[in-house]
Amino acid sequence: LANLTDLVLIGNRLTTLPPDIARLSKLARLSLDRNAITNLPPEIDRLPGLRYLTLGGNPYGGEKADEAQAELRARLPQCEIVF
């Protein structure tokens, strides 16, 4: 899994990702659409190659979605994020 570059986890009822996500150091694209994700672990910041992240159809950030989305974009400035 260390060489994994694309990970598609669409529609799996996930609520978050495990901290071990940071072990996927070559991950470039992460698709998490249509889950139940409200936040991502801080370890997501340790994916320097992550360039594209999709979170469509998730309640990301809950009632403070705008604030949470802005904060995630600040944490991952190299990454295009689609909510």
pLDDT at 50 (0 to 100):
98
**Per-residue pLDDT band at 2 (split at 50, 70, 90):** confident
pTM of the predicted structure, to 2 decimals: 0.94
CB contact burial 55-74 (16+ within 10 A = b; e otherwise)? beebebbeeeeeebeeebee
Q: Write out pLDDT tens, residues 26-75.
A: 999 999 999 999 999 999 999 999 999 999 999 999 999 999 999 999 99
